[in-house]
Chain A
Amino acid sequence: MALLRSRSHNDCVPLEGRKLSGPLAYRLLAVSFIVGWVTMGLEMVVGRALIPHFGSSVYTWGAVISVFLFGIAFGYFAGGYLSKRFPERATIIVLDVSAGIWVLLLPLVVSPICTKIATDISDPRWGAGVGAMAMSFFPVAALSATAPVSVRLAVANISTVGVISGGLAALGAIGSIAGTVVTSFFMIPAVGVKTNFLVLGMLSIASAALLFTWSIDRGELVE
């Protein structure tokens, strides 16, 4: 088996008998947790930001939730292809950083964009949907696209695919719970919408920094 280490291709093909190294697994799990946190935190804050413009009707929340799930679905789908084409740590870094930058910029544009949409679209249901789409589709899709890439990077053995993808998904869900609870119970009562966007944007970038410090040397993937 040792001979197989000297592979020349640029792809970390899972090899029989090889295991995931500790540091990478933990970092990818941490990234999954933070991505879940940021996604659900963003959902709460985006809803809060839309209400003054589109009302506090059930339609506003319905529109926000639908747009987020659409973003997540698109992100998973696109992330799957990205994991095939770019099975690199850099893919996750780029996705997390670009989502983070987008969210950091939201405080500047939320009010003008929503005002414009609320003026142009008379039905608040469509208005809230379009507003949520404009603000959150990209970052949500980018964050979700990290999930299949993480699975691709973390899996070193076909027999552990289930364990690893299950673990990543579970950590993502736990992060989502934490993000929902902390954002709605503590952060929104404590600081404003804009500050919340900044915190979530920085968290997203921090998750990329987690991977950045780790050497991606393929050697670490094998024992």
Chain B
Amino acid sequence: MIRFISAVFLLVFTCRLAQAESLSTLEEVESQYGKISVVQVGPRRYMMFGNPERGYIESAMDVNSPEELIVEYTKFMSVGTAYSSDLGHAVMIGTGGGRTLSYLSRTFPRMRFDAVEIDCEVIRVAKEYFLFDTIERVESHCIDGRIFLSKTDSNYDIVLLDAYRGDTAPFHLMTEEFLRVVRSRLAPGGVLVQNIDPTTILLDSAVVTAREVFDQVDTFRAGRNVVIVAYSGSRVPDTVLARRATELDKRFSTAYPLESLIETRFVLRLTDSAISLTDDYAPVEKLGATPRVRP
């Protein structure tokens, strides 16, 4: 019923892959949480949930240039680095094929990562077909993200949250209580970076909920998605953010310069009816079925 995994939304890729040419299915496996398929169209390899004909693409990689981030929003998952006071330890909840982690690991060579994924099969498939095991300084954990964060002793500079499966989000990773667990695991100056589908009013609720727990919630237009950065303290001004981004770009030779990524920061106008989500009441399915205008 409720499942989570790093996902690219349906709307990101509405293409029906089966209709494309030269599609080959590399693997189809039934995990505890549903069907996982790996298909390849030309040089592009996709991890999908559901049947290949009409499933959701959860991860994409070009086998000829695996370092490239094909899915636009995954580049924006790196904006947290411009906020965080340190770049030592990060955790990703919902790893999918691990493309985001792969980029971060290559770009920031001092950073260590915990990759948390509920579905062990996803980790195996990511290792076999998406070069997950070539990512350095990463430790994978096959466990529910909330349970992992509740039990870990680690403190993180960045918590990356991308726990969708298809177009649904697990409610227990969207609530105030969960975000308090996240906040408690952040090192001083640490940030939460979360990928959100901006086509439904679940976006508004996610932002309202984050504002209940964090002092600041910044929003970025990230391709067809919205990426939020939540942190404590006062709002980081544009000039400061730009300066930090430029420094990092110079120091780490970022393939996707933070300087241009942060330019998409915008002020989200919230739907009036947006409610904060709690463990008691988090109607994510209902909110996720109510469309909104893409910001």
Q: Which A residues have a C-beta under 8 Å from some C-beta of B?
A: 49, 51-52, 54-58, 61, 111, 118, 122, 124, 188-194
Contact B281 A192 (CB under 8 A): yes
A163 to B196, CA, bound (A): 55
Q: How large is the interface on B (under 10, 10 to 19, 20 to 34, 35 or more residues)?
A: 20 to 34
Contact B144 A57 (CB under 8 A): yes
Task: Annotate B176-188 by CB proximity to A: 1 below 8 A, 0 otherwise.
Answer: 0110000000000
The majority secondary structure among interface residues of chain B is loop
Q: How many A-B residue pairs have CB under 8 A?
A: 53
A61 to B33, CA, bound (A): 12
By beta carbon, the residue of chain B nearest A47 is B1
Report the 5 A-B pairs with minimum CB-CB distance, sorted nearest first: A55-B144, A192-B281, A192-B280, A56-B2, A189-B286
A51 to B282, CA, bound (A): 12
A191 to B281, CA, bound (A): 6
B250 within 8 A of A: no
Contacts of B175 in A (CB 8 A): 52
Of the residues A55, A189, A190, contact of B118 by C-beta under 8 Å: A55
By beta carbon, the residue of chain A nearest B175 is A52
Contacts of B171 in A (CB 8 A): 51
Contact B281 A52 (CB under 8 A): no
Of the residues A54, A61, A191, A194, contact of B1 by C-beta under 8 Å: A61
Within 8 A of A (CB), among B141-171: 143-144, 146-147, 150-151, 170-171
The distance from the CB of A130 to the nearest CB of chain B, in whole angstroms, is 15
A122 to B143, CA, bound (A): 12
Contact B279 A188 (CB under 8 A): no
A191 to B2, CA, bound (A): 18
